[in-house]
Structure 1
């Protein structure tokens, strides 16, 4: 049986290749996110690095992503996508071995940079392969299903990582990440990617092959939203420990719950033409969640804030990615994906760096209040700038 029977009259999303792509995406995202919340703890508790320098280590991978993402979009539009996916994965997994020997800040900065380069290629190619498999009429819904694997991994893996780190140490955590990474490579080998029409010639290198230029206003909007995600994945655990939460990794479980509750449903609403309503609701919920996270310091509000933020981002992700995809022709799908992912990379990197500065000078509570303010600004910006830009440049019947 190739897939799950869909409702009559609808094109099928859950075919064999899409299921394989989702499993692979989940495994590789888990391997990566096992280290995201634990590296700050390792740096702070073992290497005794101040918060400001922790931000430098964390943001080095984001800088690498910024450098490589635009080229990845060009490569996946021109060359075979599955080999590029496997190449990125292989380098990405091999880099984990370096963490066994990571005992200095400089070494970790270099290691994170290499990890960021390979992660960039793996994620752009993975997203583009998935979109090739998803029927155009159900694209936002399919993106929601595919992306929720990443988001669940981003939420569940840190919770598990904190428990492994506290019980068995950093070395064991690296071994777990390596194991999941090897499994992802094996799974990807079974994906059958749809054949694309062979290009008569390789397109000339130009700026619009690296960034979807007409989406730049939306890209700017995205930076304010990604800033918040950067502060969450980097400092939520440290913030929780400062406010007396025993296992602050529980934040990520509730974050995952919110993402799962909202992501797939929001994709269906987008496919039915309610894109702008979905975006406005998402931005309001995210802002409210950050305000609660900053001001209400008990385990109950800690978890409730995580749930709200998860619902907001889970609603936002497929809607925002669909905007980029629907503004690009099929021949620039990789460019659209790389632009979308680059927006998050840059915003997350800024969140890591400025978050460390704000945390050092004003405290994490003020940092998350500032984050809430950025999200409210993003809502106003979206309604008056991003929304008209999308309506002007969207491509009808894009497949």
Structure 2
């Protein structure tokens, strides 16, 4: 018995030594993080400022001003339907550079745009370019991460997004003076150029060709090639069927998080605690940063279930806390729990997603991942907007907490029960 225990200890030590030997930090991985940071600074800066810009310059209605902001998300959502096969076939770096060139052009075209229609068209185009660039750089970064350190590397890569959530809105406040938004758009162009310059130095591994054995078999199933109807063949190119089950968890997470993004400020204002929303997002961002610097190592060493189950429980508890009166202690506690939970859940499920497919399908798998997240965050405000009049804000957050609890058995069914048996061939 003691001998068996000693062998287990030696096996774990050997695996840990092998894991440490696989180099995570490389020049290209750091450059990929930098590119992603600049892309997301532009995203958050414009998401923060475009609704007010549309209202002030074009006297847009509340609905029109809101769409000036959300049209970007619509464009990104559209891009997810063709981003995967385009990136996997044309090349990650090539798609990234073309998308960033569009980033620069659109940022400058905002300045002469003379109508709300033109502004909306630019937002849609910008969103498409963002979806392509984001998917391409993420697929490239995932290819740079050693498989044994997949979750750790994914967490570090996601830190760039977390930093952008603070830098983007802050720059929007600093650059908008007396209603002059030209500085915002010029700064976006500068960030886009910076992303291009970093990408010119970046060397991303391209998707390898499918092995001959796979070419002669169905890519998703491994059995003999059978005739496929056109709709099924087309769907398999646009979506990655192997990751659809795990991304249903992401769909639910995106929907629940949209309740925080879209309604927390209104809830706090209604309760006479308007400053609580700002406090929440500040603490939330700090908790997300902590989670992304730590949870990945645990996931690599202990397995997916060791972090995903606690992450969902923490996020559910944070949402449920918001059903209470938004006093300072409630807001801080909710922000910590939600930040640790949601901040772990996104990179954790992304690491699972790419671990379910061979490298040649990274682009399509990640496009499917982001598509489900975009659908959740996009539909969430609409569905929850119908729920709030029936339950109130406090009741809505109680329901969202319950929804995340219900997501725990969903995760068990789609991945958790087989987490240790998953292997990619």
Q: Shorter-chain TM-score: which interval? A: 0.7 to 0.9
After superposition, the C-alpha distances for 1:68-87 in whole angstroms (9 at most, x for unaligned) are 21311112211221111111
**Aligned-residue CA RMSD in angstroms?**
3.4
* Equivalent in 319, 330, 334 of residue 290 of structure 1: 319
Q: Which has the higher contact order (CA 8 A, sep 6+)?
A: 1
Find the residue that maps to 2:21 and give its secondary structure. Answer: coil
Q: What is residue 175 of structure 1 aligned with on the other side?
A: 186
How big is the shift at 1:55?
Answer: 5.6
Contact 1:221 1:381 in 2 (8 A): yes
* Equivalent in 67, 71, 80 of residue 60 of structure 1: 71
Q: What is residue 423 of structure 2 aligned with on the other side?
A: 395
Find the residue that maps to 2:357 and give its secondary structure. Answer: coil
TM-score (norm 2): 0.79
After superposition, the C-alpha distances for 1:299-334 in whole angstroms (9 at most, x for unaligned) are 453344223221111211221012111111122111
Q: What is residue 49 of structure 1 aligned with on the other side?
A: 61
Contact 2:279 2:331 in 1 (8 A): no
Q: What is residue 227 of structure 1 aligned with on the other side?
A: 255
For residues 263 and 288 of structure 1, the distance between their equivalents in structure 2, rounded to whole angstroms, comes to 19
Q: What is residue 412 of structure 2 aligned with on the other side?
A: 383
Contact 1:283 1:376 in 2 (8 A): yes
Q: What is residue 202 of structure 2 aligned with on the other side?
A: 191
Map 1:267-278 → 2, pairs under 5 A: 267-278=296-307
For residues 164 and 248 of structure 1, the distance between their equivalents in structure 2, rounded to whole angstroms, comes to 22
Find the residue that maps to 1:295 and give its secondary structure. Answer: coil
**Could you tell which deviates more after superposition, 365-374 or 81-90?**
365-374
Q: Are 2:104 and 1:93 equivalent residues in the alignment?
A: yes
Query: Unmatched 5+ residue regions in structure 1?
Result: 1-5
Q: What is residue 402 of structure 2 aligned with on the other side?
A: 373
* Equivalent in 330, 334, 339 of residue 363 of structure 2: 334
How big is the shift at 1:180?
Answer: 2.0
Q: What is residue 3 of structure 1 aligned with on the other side?
A: none
* Equivalent in 134, 139, 142 of residue 123 of structure 1: 134
Contact 1:85 1:121 in 2 (8 A): yes
Query: Unmatched 5+ residue regions in structure 2?
Result: 1-15, 220-232
For residues 111 and 317 of structure 1, the distance between their equivalents in structure 2, rounded to whole angstroms, comes to 29
How big is the shift at 1:218?
Answer: 2.0
Q: What is residue 93 of structure 2 aligned with on the other side?
A: 82
Larger Rg computed on CA atoms: 2
**Could you tell which deviates more after superposition, 266-275 or 250-259?**
250-259
Find the residue that maps to 1:12 and give its secondary structure. Answer: coil
Q: 1:226 to 1:359 in 2, by over 3 A?
A: same
Work out the number of aligned pairs and report it.
Answer: 389
* Equivalent in 249, 257, 281 of residue 310 of structure 2: 281
After superposition, the C-alpha distances for 1:189-230 in whole angstroms (9 at most, x for unaligned) are 1102236656799x8964222212133222222211011333
